A and B are shown apart, each in its own frame.
Chain A
Amino acid sequence: MTVTDPARVDLPVSTRRDRAAVRSPWRQPLAIVGAALVVLWVLVALLAPLLAPHGPLDQLAPKLQAPSGEYLFGTDELGRDVFSRVVYGSRISLPLACLLVVLATVLGAVVGTIAGFFGGWVDSILMRLADLVFAFPGIILAMAVAAALGPQLRNAVLAVVVVSWPSYARLVRGLVLSARNSEYVAASRLLGSSALRTMLVDLRPNIAGPVLVMAALDVGNAVLLLSGLSFLGLGAQPPAAEWGAMVAAGAANFDRWWIGLFPGLAILTVVLAFNFVGDTLRDALDPRTARAIRD
């Protein structure tokens, strides 16, 4: 059956063992730090009732206590334990940030795919819409949307989705457009694949990687935007233990540095962690990163 002499078969360029020998992107120091922080925060959110000595809204302690052995991060102006509130805050920020990134990703991917797939006037209309959103600075537009919908955490989430989807739409549209003209798509079409099947089977794995990377990088951004809206009073409302709102309370009592600093640090570490993880994902998802150097 075989038409070629087996002796003529070229040797493989790289083998599995080879791939293992290449240093995994997950072994870089920043990747380890990022992944560890993400895991840590997820654990904190899951185990909040066990970790926090008090409830997030309990006003048991003396007011405005500096950090001490009893109140690790001190207490706020209502006598609530800042440590407990930061711990419980992760139960608000992390799931909401993830949810809104998922919403923005799905919305953006659908719009981008439709624009790239159909092209023409459909593409023009959808992309002008995206441009419209891009024309405003994200936080300003989010503020306007949140203010229009009414200051509520749910509306703040929707506002961030509204400002976030266009980046995904653009990314996906670009990927669809460049892949649509690629030879591997042409080859797949010639095999008898419909355009839609090509889109789902051939393009999805190519689009999923960059989108996932962008989403991971965006979780941090989402946490920041949500906190920002809450800080401005457009998101979570008192007495909710939301980090942004807590920073706002800290700003009102700026001589009591612990009230604002610890929730601020929580935001910082979450944002950094997701950025590191996103960068690492980008390297890890590219099967070509391991390509051997050739003359």
Chain B
Amino acid sequence: MGALLEVENLTVWLATRRGPQKAVDDVSFHVDAGEIFGLAGESGSGKTMTAMALLGLLPHAARTSGRAVFDGRDLLSMSAKQLRSVRGRHIAMVSQDPSTSLHPMLTVETQLTEHMRHHLGLGRSEARGRATELLATVRIPDPERALSAHPAQFSGGMRQRIAIAVALACQPRLLLADEPTTALDVTVQAGILRLLDRLRREQDLAVVVITHDLGVMSAVTDRICVMYGGRLAETGPRQDVLNQPRHPYTRGLLDALPHPEGGAAALRPVPGSPPPLGRVPEGCPFHPRCGFALPSCRTERPAPVLVGEAHTSACPPDPLGGAA
């Protein structure tokens, strides 16, 4: 059985004043049904643009190349009309800030049932029944009453649950969650992460979680892909990537985290900052910040190399390989 989503050599150019610039550069990965896949990276890594490309929601005058086959059809070559029938119906999105994805003036019911009635052709009472079920699924207390309320009447965590319910309205098979818990408290984040995990198990939903938070990655994902400067740095099963990272950038991100046992040691940041759009260095994009960089890293563009079972790293010198 093939993957639910197969992204091959995806490249995205964004229009800037200095001409088109690559925001995503030759990225390939796949997502299976019922899998939670993590896209990790700092701002400017291209992780959000990857998701936008899949949804056909790139900014004006952006161009793409490569393929993104979802359920046998290439999303990148679809017409705007075809994309609309996929978006919301089969692929849904949850963004960081639920206050922007929910309409402030419409009731929760309207926002939940609109897509169902449009995409699934449900009648009013049928849609309402399903909306109640959905709210119960995402653990909104008193779903019947919540239907007639407006988004502003809920807390941030509750709004994000409602946004997830709206995203799930048409039983999508793939959910793209862009920093879904970044704006939330850890206590609420824990609930959302558990919800995503439950949906994956109970409804075979595939989820792409986009976040810079490796703790969140560690908690829910099956596989992780670390992006840097628009390219893939490392891809692999969660345990392998987080416990035996092979790319110096992944190592650096993990080292920058506060030590799990605390202590007085200073934090160890990755030196420098990620390159802005259009200023990705030649060769390996990470070489100016890499402690292991060799002269060849400045000129040779590194290709992903298999370093373990289903584990690839785009760092041919492989300075961390000895540890494995």
Within 8 A of A (CB), among B7-64: 14, 16-18, 23, 43-46, 48-49
- A10 contacts the other chain (Cβ, under 8 Å)? yes
Contact, CB under 8 Å: B49 / A295 = yes
**A192: min CB distance to chain B, Å:** 32
- A27 contacts the other chain (Cβ, under 8 Å)? no
The one of A8, A10, A11, A293 in contact with B16, judged by C-beta atoms closer than 8 angstroms, is A293
- A16 contacts the other chain (Cβ, under 8 Å)? no
Q: Considering the chains assembled together, what is the distance between the CA atoms of A13 and B275 in angstroms?
A: 9
> Which of A13, A21, A292, A293 has the most B CB atoms < 10 Å from its CB?
A293
Q: Considering the chains assembled together, what is the distance between the CA atoms of A10 and B289 in angstroms?
A: 10
Report B256-291 CB contacts with A as 1/0, cut-off 8 Å. Answer: 000000000000010111001100000000000000
With CB as the reference atom, state the residue of chain A lying closest to B44.
Answer: A295
Contact, CB under 8 Å: B277 / A10 = no
Q: Given the interface contacts A292-B277, A293-B14, A294-B43, does A10 sit within 8 Å of B23 by beta carbon? A: no
Q: Number of A residues contacting the other chain (C-beta, 8 Å)?
A: 13
Contacts of B45 in A (CB 8 A): 295
Contacts of A20 in B (CB 8 A): none
Contact, CB under 8 Å: A8 / B269 = yes
Within 8 A of A (CB), among B129-166: none
- A122 contacts the other chain (Cβ, under 8 Å)? no
Contact, CB under 8 Å: B271 / A295 = no
Q: Considering the chains assembled together, what is the distance between the CA atoms of A23 and B48 in angstroms?
A: 28
Contact, CB under 8 Å: A294 / B276 = yes
Contacts of A43 in B (CB 8 A): none
- A22 contacts the other chain (Cβ, under 8 Å)? yes
Contact, CB under 8 Å: A295 / B272 = no
Contacts of B273 in A (CB 8 A): 10-11
- A191 contacts the other chain (Cβ, under 8 Å)? no
Q: Considering the chains assembled together, what is the distance between the CA atoms of A7 and B276 in angstroms?
A: 19
The one of A8, A21, A295 in contact with B46, judged by C-beta atoms closer than 8 angstroms, is A295
Q: Considering the chains assembled together, what is the distance between the CA atoms of A23 and B272 in angstroms?
A: 29
Q: Considering the chains assembled together, what is the distance between the CA atoms of A206 and B46 in angstroms?
A: 34
Q: Considering the chains assembled together, what is the distance between the CA atoms of A46 and B46 in angstroms?
A: 57
Contact, CB under 8 Å: A295 / B277 = yes
**B112: min CB distance to chain A, Å:** 31
The 19 sampled A-B contact pairs (Cβ below 8 Å) are: A5-B271, A7-B271, A8-B271, A10-B273, A11-B272, A11-B273, A13-B276, A21-B17, A22-B17, A23-B17, A293-B14, A293-B277, A294-B276, A294-B277, A295-B23, A295-B44, A295-B45, A295-B49, A295-B277
Closest 7 CB pairs of A and B: A10-B273, A295-B44, A8-B271, A293-B16, A294-B276, A7-B271, A292-B276
